[in-house]
Structure 1
Amino acid sequence: MKPAPTHLWNPSFCGEMDLVIRKDGVWVHEGSPIRRKELISLFASILCIKDDGHYYLISPQEKIKVKVDQYPFLVTEMKVVGNNRKQTIFFTTNVGEQFEVKEHNLITIELDKPECVPFVHIRNGLNAGICRSVYYRLADLIVSKEEEFGVWSGGSFQTIRQS
């Protein structure tokens, strides 16, 4: 499902929902995992992070706070078309969102955390953790350029940042 234009909406805050997005990518409502992929896809399309650092489900009429343990999404698949400087990397998240890695999709590794969690910026401040199997495949593509490390995708060099 295509992301909704939540940046255009400014509804009133309606409270909190007992919805947690766990760091393993499971969406849990009132203690039970949500099993309907369509519902998760709908929620993912209206999820946003605001300046206060909290996550919300936003519709034109409502703004509801939800909890995210680490990142709201996980990159679970990677496809590479071409090779070297002419390669393009495509990521797929646990909610089925697919995107090409471009300049605005910053890839970062959090070295200050015990797990050194890599993540990628998807859109509007939302990030996706990169699962271990994808990270290992991505690591095989890392090259150095002018004392920086990164990957080529879509004709440009994507520096892998450290935080």
Structure 2
Amino acid sequence: MSQPDDLLTLLEKAEKDESGLPPVHAWKPERHADIDMRIARDGTWYYEGSPIERERMVALFSTILLREGEDYFLITPVEKLRIQVDDAPFVAGEVQQVDNKLVFTTNVGSHVIAGAGHPIRVDTDPATGEPSPYITVRKNLHALIGRSAFYQLVDWAEEVDGRLVVESGGEGFVLGALE
């Protein structure tokens, strides 16, 4: 069965998304500082306590985001600014199946194809049993998979040895154990 043109375009865009990013790992700025910027668990970016309303500005900031250990930075060739991130810096709110691949769309408009380089993982809170699913967006940066997207993954998953497993591009990802 053939895919609609818009889905194939989405797949092509997702495959190209990382190539246009700045080389943040190569930059070694001398100026370091902390700034009052925070990314909330729902993906909202705040500056000095106020939400950043301009989506294009948030999308731009997301391209110069770097994580080292547990710290997050906005980095340019001349400065490295530490920011706070409540959970993950991105939220993957949508997922579609295109040519046996799972294509996620994040809150900043980027696209990620789940696979070996972009694995899906599910952390479970030991106290509540609540799952927190994530996908790797790029080196050391993750997106929290939104509830509706996670439910869609569960719907597409198959039982394998007592676990729910979803596949993308030939890779299997465990969503959780069946009880």
TM class by shorter chain equals 0.7 to 0.9
Which residue in 2 is equivalent to 1:94? 107
Among 91, 112, 115, the alignment partner of 1:74 is: 91
Distance in 2 (CA, whole Å) between partners of 1:138 and 1:157 is 14
Which residue in 2 is equivalent to 1:21? 39
Which residue in 2 is equivalent to 1:111? 124
Distance in 2 (CA, whole Å) between partners of 1:148 and 1:12 is 48
Offset at 1:7?
1.1
Offset at 1:147?
6.3
Residues 1:123 and 2:138 are matched in the alignment = yes
Over the residues paired in the alignment, what is the CA RMSD in angstroms? 1.9
> TM-score, normalised to structure 1's length?
0.87
Which piece of structure 1 moves more, 129-138 or 95-104? 95-104
Contact kept, 8 Å, 1:3 with 1:44, in 2: the verdict is: no
Distance in 1 (CA, whole Å) between partners of 2:21 and 2:88 is 17
- State the identity %: 34
Among 141, 146, 154, the alignment partner of 1:139 is: 154
Unaligned 5+ residue runs, structure 2?
A: 1-16
Contact kept, 8 Å, 2:112 with 2:118, in 1: the verdict is: no
Which residue in 2 is equivalent to 1:8? 26
Number of equivalences: 156
Offset at 1:119?
0.8
Which residue in 1 is equivalent to 2:5? none
Residues 1:153 and 2:168 are matched in the alignment = yes
> TM-score, normalised to structure 2's length?
0.80
